[in-house]
């Protein structure tokens, strides 16, 4: 099980709180993304049992990174720029799957 907590706004912490097994799954997916330079999926579940996929997208292009929609969740910090890239658009390939933890 893994809970991911996003940044509310600028300079706030983000958190990953997870079981050792879920952390290993996440590490394995990150390693595969680095090795293959392709999006990878880690099948996880939140502490309430709700399953979700965490998609790791390797990206070296700084110009693309600068255009990504900012990750903040609170209204004052939301990204209101026009023409930003939603990260879901970068995961256009079907990532390999791995079993849920």
pLDDT digits (tens, 9 = 90+) for 41-86: 999 999 999 999 999 999 888 888 888 988 887 888 888 888 888 8
pLDDT given for residue 22 in this prediction = 97
Structure confidence at residue 15 as a pLDDT band (50, 70, 90): very high
φ/ψ of residue 89, rounded to 5: -70, -25
pLDDT given for residue 8 in this prediction = 87
Q: For residue 14, is pLDDT > 80?
A: yes
Model pLDDT for residues 90-100, shown as the tens digit of each residue: 886 444 444 44
């Amino acid at each position: 099980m893994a809970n991911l907590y996003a940044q509310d706004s600028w300079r706030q912490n983000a958190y990953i709180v997870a079981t050792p097994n879920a952390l290993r799954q996440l590490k394995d997916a990150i390693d595969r993304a680095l090795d293959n330079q392709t999006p990878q999926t880690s099948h996880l579940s939140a502490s309430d049992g709700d399953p979700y996929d965490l998609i790791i997208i390797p990206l070296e292009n700084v110009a693309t990174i600068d255009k990504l929609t900012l990750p903040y969740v609170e209204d004052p910090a939301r990204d209101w720029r026009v023409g930003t890239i939603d990260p879901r658009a970068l995961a256009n390939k079907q990532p390999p799957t791995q079993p849920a933890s």
